[in-house]
Structure 1
C-alpha cells in the first residue's frame, strides 16, 4: 500500500494536501479533541466558543494563552519538512489545513489555506482591528473597548470564505488529494476530499470509518509515513 501511495504522489501533477490535528501531534501539539489532549480536563468545545469569549473571558483567555505559550516550544517535525520540500519541488499545489498552529508555513510551505484561521494573529472581537500577540497575552482591551482574541474559527463560527473557496477550487481541480491526520468528523472541512475527481489517499493513526472512500489508506503517524513516502517518490 505504501508503494501504491508513492506511485500516485509521484505521478500526480495537481496534488492537494488536507491536514488535521493528527499532522501536528508528532510535533508535540495536543489534538485538543480527545480527552488525553484536553486542557485542564475541559472539553475545548465548551471554551473555544463565542459564548466563552463573551461570557467567560477569563477562561477563554487562559485557554488560548496556554496554547500560544505551548506553541512557542514547538517546531515542525520532519514530516512537515517533507511537505515543505514537496511544494518547493513543484509536487504540491496547495495545503488546506484545519490546524491553526502555522507549522506548515514554518516548514517552508507558502501555498497554505488555513480553514480554521490562525492562532498566530489576533484581532478585536468588536471592531476586528488587528492586534499584537503580546497585547492579547497581557489581557489588554482594544482601544474601542472590545476584547482581543486569536484569529481562529471558534465553534459555531463560519469558515473564512476566501480560504474555503481557494481550497475547494484546488481540490476540484486536483488529480490526487492526500488527507493527513484528520478523523473527518468536523463539518464542512470533512466534505472537501469528496469534492475531487482525483485519487484519494488517507494517512491517519486510527481508522475513521471512511477508509472505504479512499483508494489508499496508510495507518500510522504522519511524520513516520511521510518520511517513508518521501524515500519512494
Structure 2
C-alpha cells in the first residue's frame, strides 16, 4: 500500500484564553487523518471549527500541543526549525488568501523565488509556462502593486505550479476572488492533484469543496463526517448538520 504524504494522529491544539488565569481554549481535540499521494482533500465546517488551525498544524507552520504529524515521511515534531524549513522547501507549496507575494519583485521573480531560496537552478521556461497556465503570460514583468487581486492570486498559484511540490496547502484560496477567477484558480488546484502530488484546501466555497476526492467536515475541533466526491448540495447538508447537531 502507498505511504500517505500526510499522516496525522491524535492532534490536539489549544490557544491562550482572553484572561491570563482562564484555561486555554481547545481548538483541535484529537484529529487523526491520512492524505494519499494524488488526492485532493477539502476541509470545511462552521466558523471556529478549527479548519485553518488544522491546516497550519499539518504543514508545520503551527506546532500542535500533542499528537504527531508525518509530512512526506518525516515526523515534524522531531525536526528543528532549520530542518523543518528545508522539508517544506523541498516538498510543500502554499496558496493563501493573502497571496504572500514580495512587493518589490516582479511576478516572474516571485514565482522563481522558492527555487532561489532552495538554491536550485531557476527553470525560466518553467516559470514562463506557469505564467501562461494562469493566463498571465504578458504580466511577468509587473510587480504585485500593478496587478489586481485576482491576478496576484494567480501569480501565487503559478508559484506553486512552477515548484511542482509534493503537497499543496491552500487556505481560502478563492475568498477574495470573483466567481470567474475563483473558478479558474480551483481548476488549477484540482489539476495540481495527481502524479503523486496532493492538495489540501480549507474553504467555505461549496463548489470548491466538491471538487475534492474527499471532504472532511470539522466541528469543534473534531472530524464530524467525511464525504467522498460529494455534490455541493451534499457538502452544504453536512455543514448544516455539523452546525446543528448536539
TM class by shorter chain equals 0.3 to 0.5
**What's the TM-score, normalizing by structure 1?**
0.33
Q: TM-score, normalised by structure 2?
A: 0.32
Which has a greater percent of strand? 2
